Amino acid sequence: MTYAVLHIPLPPSLNNIFYNRPHGGRGKTTDYKNWRDAAAWEIRSQRPPIIKGEVRVDLTIERPNAASDLDNRIKAVLDSLQAAGVIENDRSVIEIAARWGDVKGCTIVVGSAEKVAA
């Protein structure tokens, strides 16, 4: 099984990554684009393998405050994995486990979803 253990800065909340365009639609905020680019650079600097096909992702995320929603941090992490070229597309993620933890930023374990023989 191909996998990588990666560390990135604290992902932004989903509440802060999109804005409403004046004439309809949604756009990515500048802060989010900057974070995604920084996270992708950080991932690439760790020299992970490229993982083809379906993947499983396990996340441990620093909890910034008691009011934070864990699920609001997941999309940004998956987008950064795709932007860094570790996964082909975030549609290829078939399983996600996520938790708050005693880490700085976010620790990601991403691996191929190869079937294990019974």
- pLDDT one-digit tens code per residue, 51-110: 999 999 999 999 999 999 999 999 999 999 999 999 999 999 999 999 999 999 999 999
Q: Domain holding 90: CATH number?
A: 3.30.1330.70
Domain count, the chain: 1
pLDDT band, very low/low/confident/very high, at 7 (cuts 50, 70, 90) = very high
User: In this model, does residue 47 exceed pLDDT 90?
Assistant: yes
pLDDT at 86: 97
The residue-averaged pLDDT of 33-61 equals: 96
Domain assignment of residue 106, given as a range: 3-112
With respect to residue 118, please indicate whether it lies within any of the assigned structural domains. Answer: no
With respect to residue 102, please indicate whether it lies within any of the assigned structural domains. Answer: yes
With respect to residue 36, please indicate whether it lies within any of the assigned structural domains. Answer: yes
Place of tokens 């760790």: 46
Q: Determine the 3-state secondary structure of 69 from DSSP.
A: coil
Integer CA distances (angstroms), 22 to 25, 32, 58, 110, in order: 8, 19, 37, 37
Q: Which amino acid is at 46?
A: Q
- Residue 53 backbone phi and psi in degrees, to 5: 75, -155
